[in-house]
Amino acid sequence: MAVTLTDSVLKDIHRRMVRIRRFEETAGKMMENGKIPGALHLYVGEEAVASGVMVHLSNQDQITSTHRGHGHLIAKGGAFDRMFAELYGKATGYCKGKGGSMHISNLEVGMLGANGIVGGGPPIAMGAGFSNKFRKTKNVACCFFGDGASNEGSFHEAANMAGLYKLPVIFVCENNGYGEYTPQRNHQAIVDVADRAAGYGMPGVVVDGMDAVAVYEAAGEAIARARAGEGPTLLECKTYRYYDHVGVRGMGLTYRTDDELAEWKKRDPIELFESRLQEQKIMSAAEIKAVHDETLAEIDAAIQFAESSPFPDASAILEDVYA
């Protein structure tokens, strides 16, 4: 049941990317205006990765995410209204307001949570992959993690076990060149995180993470391998985050240059994709605009839903601690 790159799949990838971009732009503004409490780590710039991978997955396939998790949930089928409600800390949010941005999740679509712990995801994805195999399903678990997270022991233990047990796990490294404010050259002695795959007996693949089709193709191969029982793959997507580590402007540190940002923006994943769709006459400019407009309208409605939703009652504090 491999997915082939039909026009409708291309449109699907496009819509997922636009949905992430628009959601994140809005959420970022709301955080900076103080409307959303806490810290948001925004996914703007990296949309091709989540979208190119997730289009292969069903609700029975699982993912684990990161602190930068909204994009993963959106691409996996998260609903804006429940997401905004969660970011607001409302009772109608996906986690009843208990998780917020860093723990946003929806198990119904197989999303095993954003994670406040860098490197929190890989062991969980490995366990989900084990479960898929143990329960004799053909489902896969995709683990999203950053270049910075690839330095946590948890990643290495999970990768080793996934390789050893030939688990249906795809380790998707979103290499955006930085862990917080530290450039990759100052946090690891390699250039390609994919090189680490060799140590765990799995293929390591490097792909242009700004090109959703390239991600789609490489992910498709890895997922097919996993579904066929051939074990895990480490798929490294080279990408970039447009905003600061936290929020939009963040702390205003000068740890990277405007030129570098501008260079990456020239290869904006959505613009690249939209020009390709138009060149290939798959979508017209008007159709593309309609996707953006529909998304924006849905965001407005979602914010309305979130704002009119109640906050959880104090009694909820002690609920959900145990089954």
- The footprint of ligand TPP (CB under 6 A) covers 66-68, 116-119, 146-149, 174, 176, 178-180, 245
139 binds, among another protein, Mg ion, ligand TPP, none (CB under 5 to 8 A by kind): none
Nearest distance from C-beta of residue 188 to ligand TPP, angstroms: 10
Phi, psi at residue 209, to the nearest 5°? Answer: -80, 0
**Which spans in 2-112 are helix H?**
7-32, 47-54, 70-75, 80-88
Bridge-partner residues for 174, per DSSP?
146, 237
240 binds, among ligand TPP, another protein, Mg ion, none (CB under 5 to 8 A by kind): none
The answer for residues whose C-beta is within 8 angstroms of residue 277's C-beta and 6 or more apart is 10, 11, 14, 283, 288
- Footprint on this chain of another protein (rule: CB under 8 A): 37-39, 89-90, 95, 97-103, 115-120, 148-149, 151-154, 179-182, 186-188, 251, 253, 255, 311-312, 314, 316-318, 321
187 binds, among another protein, Mg ion, ligand TPP, none (CB under 5 to 8 A by kind): another protein
Q: Would you state the torsion angle of the CA atoms of residues 67, 70, 76, 78, taken in this order, to the nearest 10 degrees?
A: 130
Confirm or reject binding of residue 147 to Mg ion (CB under 5 A): yes
115 binds, among Mg ion, another protein, ligand TPP, none (CB under 5 to 8 A by kind): another protein
| Binding mask of the shown chain, residues 162 to 201, with x at each position contacting Mg ion by CB under 5 A | --------------x-x-----------------------
49 versus 212: smaller Cβ distance to ligand TPP: 49
Q: Can you tell me the distance from the alpha carbon of 186 to that of 165, in angstroms, rounded to the nearest whole number?
A: 33
In the list 123, 146, 209, 269, the residue contacting Mg ion (rule: CB under 5 A) is: 146
Nearest distance from C-beta of residue 250 to another protein, angstroms: 10
37 versus 183: smaller Cβ distance to ligand TPP: 183
Nearest distance from C-beta of residue 138 to ligand TPP, angstroms: 30
13 binds, among Mg ion, another protein, ligand TPP, none (CB under 5 to 8 A by kind): none
68 binds, among ligand TPP, Mg ion, another protein, none (CB under 5 to 8 A by kind): ligand TPP
Contact assessment for residue 139 and residue 132, using Cβ atoms and an 8 Å cutoff: yes
Closest CA to 164 of 123, 201, 205: 201
Contact assessment for residue 228 and residue 29, using Cβ atoms and an 8 Å cutoff: no
Nearest distance from C-beta of residue 146 to Mg ion, angstroms: 4
Q: How many residues bind Mg ion (CB under 5 A)?
A: 5
Nearest distance from C-beta of residue 141 to another protein, angstroms: 21
190 versus 297: smaller Cβ distance to ligand TPP: 190
**Left (φ > 0), alpha (ψ -120 to 50) or beta: where does 96 sit?**
left
Q: Can you tell me the distance from the alpha carbon of 312 to that of 166, in angstroms, rounded to the nearest whole number?
A: 43
134 versus 311: smaller Cβ distance to another protein: 311
Nearest distance from C-beta of residue 237 to Mg ion, angstroms: 11
DSSP-derived pairing of the beta strands 178-179 and 182-183? antiparallel
Closest CA to 74 of 64, 61, 66, 83: 83
Nearest distance from C-beta of residue 252 to another protein, angstroms: 11
Contact assessment for residue 103 and residue 95, using Cβ atoms and an 8 Å cutoff: yes
Alpha carbon distances (Å) from 57 to 2, 139, 141, 159, 253: 10, 9, 9, 21, 38
* Residue 117 DSSP SS3: coil
Q: Can you tell me the distance from the alpha carbon of 65 to that of 183, in angstroms, rounded to the nearest whole number?
A: 21
Nearest distance from C-beta of residue 64 to Mg ion, angstroms: 16
- Residues lying near Mg ion in the complex (CB under 5 A) are found at 146-148, 176, 178
